[in-house]
Structure 1
Amino acid sequence: MRVKVTKNKNSQSFYVIKDVNVAGKRTTKIVAALGNENQLREKHPDYEPLVWAKKQAKLLTQKEKANQNSLIKSFSAAKLIEKDKQRSFNVGYLFLQDILSQLGLKQACKKIQAQTRIKYDLYNILALLIYARILSPSSKKSSLAYMQEMLGVDLPNLHDIYRALSLLSERKEELVSASYHHSINVKPRDTRILYYDCTNFYFEIEVAKDMKQYGVSKEHRPNPIIQMGLFMDA
């Protein structure tokens, strides 16, 4: 580091600067603004301003080198890594968190929770299950293990997840309605034109039950099927 002096009509100012590389180009960076000549003479009457400024530049250089040496020592290749301590975290869910916050599900879950006696955080469980389903689809038990890799989340226990599934199933229509109503915040809809498509999928069972009924199957299988329709806007 070195001292830079800028002069004007009435005085001169002192700075500590150092050379840096920015985008492959060499330039200088101001490390400290020490003040003008009058200020330094008033604060440090025993020194000439330039002499005191050079002393400060030397001290800042020594401090920077000491910090660099300390950093190098802390990353020693010979240092053993502590066993069973998590050092990396998954932050891939953060962009989903932003989308989910716009869908109104938190408010819907709070309303449901207020109407029940549950103690666990319903929205937290729903959100974590959505993140895990999108990023690493697996069983609920495996999803809980995946959640432990996420940065800064409030982990539920497995029993509460199973309890929440029953409640989410019971109140599914409210949650779907809320997310559809607020989805315009994520992506505006153009309903001037609607596209419709339908398909069916079969179940490997022999007896029709509930929504699973016999019909014309695209696979030509003699099994009960469910018909599914899909609307898309322009």
Structure 2
Amino acid sequence: MATAFKLKCGDKFEMVRFFISMTEINLNMYKLLSVFLPLVVVAAGCANTQVPASYQKNHPDDSARIRLYGQNGKPTIMILQKESDADNKTVEVNVGGGLGDAFGSLVGGVKSESIGIAETENSKNIKDKNGILSKAFYREFLIPAGKSVQVRSSYIGMANHAPGSSFIYKEGSCSSNLVKFTPQAGKDYEVISFANGRACSVSVVEIQQQAGKTVLKSIPLE
């Protein structure tokens, strides 16, 4: 029977990184992970991985669609304005950085979620983004058109400690600048990230159909 347990928000990456930092990256790591497969991880109050349900209504006149990529150690964060501008509050959506996403990516069980955005070379070749214990995936959302959206990407460096040795290898971490744009009604967007521990960057492109082909078009940023 699966076992459920809760972790605090501050622990969202610590459990995932613990498996890596205390074990050599080799076949023994996969054997160790097999012990944890029956566990169902329930994160309470941690990173939000979904856009509010009220946004997920298909109204082409006032909505756009967006695809975000994520994986263990390489999350993409999107910041949306709330439906009511009265209090100027925002909603932050994290793809790849929530405990459930990170653990699913770690063990390879996470799956991409599509709402019908046309495939691009990035989504078709998503396996090329896979890393060690870090399966890449994407998630697509409906978002309000005409309201500012901000996105950024991060890279959380991996630490590796060889048992019986004082040697500790630790990668660098980075976070990109916030990129801001205003989506237009009826259009589709894709967020593309680059991160390697030394530098992080993020860009947003519009997905268009031209002569039966899918093309990516750069958009003006704010």
Q: Indicate whether the TM-score tops 0.5.
A: no
Which structure is higher in strand share? 2
Which structure is higher in helix share? 1
Larger Rg: 1
